[in-house]
Copies of this chain bind each other. A is one copy, B any other.
Amino acid sequence: MDTTTSKNKHLFFDDIMAMDRFPRMHLMNTISGLKGAHLLGTVSHKGTPNLGVFSSIVHVGANPPHLGFIMRPLTVPRHTYHNIKAKGFFTLNSIHPSFLAKAHQSSANYRVEESEFEAVGLQPFYTESHPAPYVDESPIKIGLEWVEEHHIKANGTLFIVGKVVEVIFPEEAMAPSGHILHDQLETMAVSGLDTYYEAGNKHQLAYARPPKS
């Protein structure tokens, strides 16, 4: 698409609010671009593993290591939230094209006593140091402990912060610089709720500094 010659659409807040529910949902879920696609794993008090797709994972800090994510409003039962609060731990697992269909299917609304792992055919993997299940098929596995949450007044969503207590990934996936090589791991991104992207051409740039004056 040659965007330099395209005619623009210009929508204001009231135009967005006047849209039908589903087009508005897709527009507002996709307009902010590509996001990381993660399988978030938890386990219930009764021991049932739970899995779902989350696309709102952000880097909070490296020292000490923390990540955060958005939990939708608690207007209906949220198994993931319930389990995180019951057990204190959760996992983030990367999505690879070889199991994308299974990963996406885990976002379906299964009953609380059903394991999404079993329902979609992914393998739970446990370590001795962390109670929540990892996805065995995921190249990158991150284990987190809940540390705090914030209630977003605008719409009742929660911003949840976890401390990284464990990471597991293929040895050759980390460059000597510390960078994880997502192109080689084929880590997937997502836009909105249903449109996944593979990582395309990579451009590694130098640290940006102002020119010397």
Contacts and interface: CB of A to CB of B under 8 A. Distances in A.
Interface in A119-149: 119, 127, 129, 139-140, 142, 147-148
A: interface residue count bin? 35 or more
Contacts of A108: 208-210
Contacts of A111: 210
Interface in A15-69: 16-17, 19, 21-38, 55-69
A81 interface: no
Contacts of A159: 68, 150, 159
Contacts of A109: 209-210
B129 A12 contact: yes
Contacts of A186: 1
Interface in A150-167: 150, 152-155, 157, 159, 161, 163-167
B30 A180 contact: yes
A165 B84 CA distance: 34
B200 A154 contact: no
